Amino acid sequence: MMIVRTAAELEAITARERRNGHSIGFVPTMGALHAGHISLVERAVADNAFTVVSVFVNPTQFNNPTDLATYPRDEEADIRLLARAGTDLVFMPSVEEVYPGGLEGRKRHEFALGSAAEVMEGKFRPGHFQGVAEVVSRLFELVRPDRAYFGEKDFQQIAVIRNMVASEGIKVDIVACPIKRADDGLALSSRNALLTPEQRAIAPEIHRTLAESVKYAADHSVRATHDTVVEQLDAVPGLEVEYFEIVDARTLQPVEEWDEAPWIVGCITVYCGNVRLIDNICYKQEPC
Ligand code: PAF
């Protein structure tokens, strides 16, 4: 596995692969890798002749400086896991390689991300999706992948990236991959590493409550289902729901009736102590 730290070297290698007729799969990550990330890498390796993974904690998508400072990092472990998963190239750049001119001097661009970017994470983390669009579009420019792989835990992020790709006219297939969970149901996330043992013990309540709510939803309204999930989770000492929205999965806009859209998901963010965990559940539709 090649370890590349400069944009110029990454561009040269991916250009050579393209010239050789090799398809390129790309998995952007912020490191602290877990089995969820590795499942994306394995899918990319299976689908493409050459797989690139980036490990870059992108400062422009953090609206909270403490969140950025405490974001888990473990470069050596990431390299080991990526090599074992069959990655061809890992890109581990500095901020200056990704943003020529540095964070202050970089060229800025307002991305058209649509109304999907204005709700939920967009509302609670102002600027977050502009930062995600900025880094993902820059990485796409360097790698020029045929396919890029994202986990459905960040359900809204996938919709926003699809909008960004369409509005910027970028040619890439966005491949959405299923959430990976621990045996007790907790969605795998780099942030799980920040949980104390006590917090880790209560965190699976999030998925348990969401899964239970699918049965409840069969004979209750959207509003009642919403309120039950929020009440149950807020009643667990140590958990606090930031938002829970039941939305049309294609537009991310809230629904009021189950027959309002063919595909409906519930998206949630819960604070477990000061660790922000996100998850989602499908209420309706074939991809569930
Ligand atoms: O999902 C993430 O880890 C990040 O938002 C991404 C897509 C790697 C961009 O920094």
User: Structural domain tally of the chain?
Assistant: 2
Query: Is residue 242 domain-resident?
Result: yes
14 and 155 share a domain? Answer: yes
Residues carrying an active site annotation? 37
Query: Is residue 286 domain-resident?
Result: no
Which strands make up the sheet holding 147-151, listed edge to edge? 2-4, 89-91, 50-55, 24-29, 147-151, 173-177
Tell me the average pLDDT across 127-145. 98
User: What percent of the chain shows pLDDT beyond 70?
Assistant: 99
CA 191 – CA 207 distance, rounded (Å): 16
143 and 203 share a domain? Answer: no
Which CATH number belongs to the domain containing residue 47 in this structure?
3.40.50.620
100 and 61 share a domain? Answer: yes
Query: Is residue 182 domain-resident?
Result: no
pLDDT tens column, 151-186: 999 999 999 999 999 999 999 999 999 999 999 999
Q: What is the pLDDT of residue 146?
A: 98
Query: Is residue 110 domain-resident?
Result: yes
Tell me the average pLDDT across 49-78. 97
98 and 14 share a domain? Answer: yes
Query: Is residue 232 domain-resident?
Result: yes
110 and 40 share a domain? Answer: yes
Residue 159 structure tokens:
């919709």
9 CB-near residues (< 8 Å, 6+ apart): none
Mutate to test the pocket of ligand 1, among 129, 152, 157 (most ligand atoms within 8 A of CB): 157
138 and 230 share a domain? Answer: no
pTM for the model stands at 0.97
DSSP, res 30? -
Residue 288 above 60 pLDDT? Answer: no
pLDDT tens column, 85-120: 999 999 999 999 999 999 999 999 999 999 999 999
Q: What is the pLDDT of residue 239?
A: 98
Q: What is the pLDDT of residue 287?
A: 55
Residue 24 above 80 pLDDT? Answer: yes
The mean predicted confidence, pLDDT, of the chain is 97
233 and 162 share a domain? Answer: no
115 and 243 share a domain? Answer: no
**Strands annotated E in 5-78:** 24-29, 50-55
- Minimal-distance CA residue to ligand 1 atom 5: 132
Query: Is residue 210 domain-resident?
Result: yes
The domain in which residue 86 lies consists of 2-177
Which CATH number belongs to the domain containing residue 249 in this structure?
3.30.1300.10
Binding pocket residue ranges, ligand 1, CB within 6 Å: 28-30, 58, 61, 132, 135-136, 154, 157
CA 150 – CA 158 distance, rounded (Å): 7
167 and 206 share a domain? Answer: no
